[in-house]
Amino acid sequence: MMVEHEIVTHGPNALFELTGVVERVARELGDGVVVVFSKGSTGALVVIPSEAAEEYRDAIWGLVPLEGWEHPGNAYAHLRSTLIGTSIFIPVSGGQLGIPEGYGVFFLENQVANARHRKIYIAGLPG
């Protein structure tokens, strides 16, 4: 099973929760691995404690400076995406995600953009 999930983002440095749609794929899968992939080169995916999302967002802001790059425009967004990652593999057992209680799956928008349409692919691979 694969789901194409579209979100409309704003940024930079905004988090968008994907946990619900990822859990839906996990329930249908039963056992195996859920792969979450973000199409593009300036977004990122993270699994973090849901209650600490704002703290994570604030802490990650200083990871890569916005200015001072030879590449015009959005070099910082490409670098952040590369460092954080655009895919996540999550084990699934009995239809439950193998992440700690209270954690969530989030898309991190690194690009300075309003109303950007992002495609996230969630695939269940049987185990």
What integer pLDDT is reported at residue 74 of this predicted model?
A: 87
What integer pLDDT is reported at residue 94 of this predicted model?
A: 98
pLDDT tens, residue by residue, 87-125:
999 999 999 999 999 999 999 999 888 899 999 999 999
User: Do the Cβ atoms of 124 and 36 come closer than 8 Å?
Assistant: no
User: Do the Cβ atoms of 108 and 116 come closer than 8 Å?
Assistant: no
Between 88 and 12, name the one with better pLDDT: 88
**pLDDT band at residue 13 under the 50/70/90 scheme:** confident
Name all domains of the chain by residue range, CATH numbers in brackets.
2-126 (2.60.120.460)
Average pLDDT, the chain: 93
The closest of 92, 89, 121 to 27, measured between CA atoms, is: 92
pLDDT tens, residue by residue, 49-71:
999 998 998 888 888 887 888 88
**pLDDT band at residue 21 under the 50/70/90 scheme:** very high
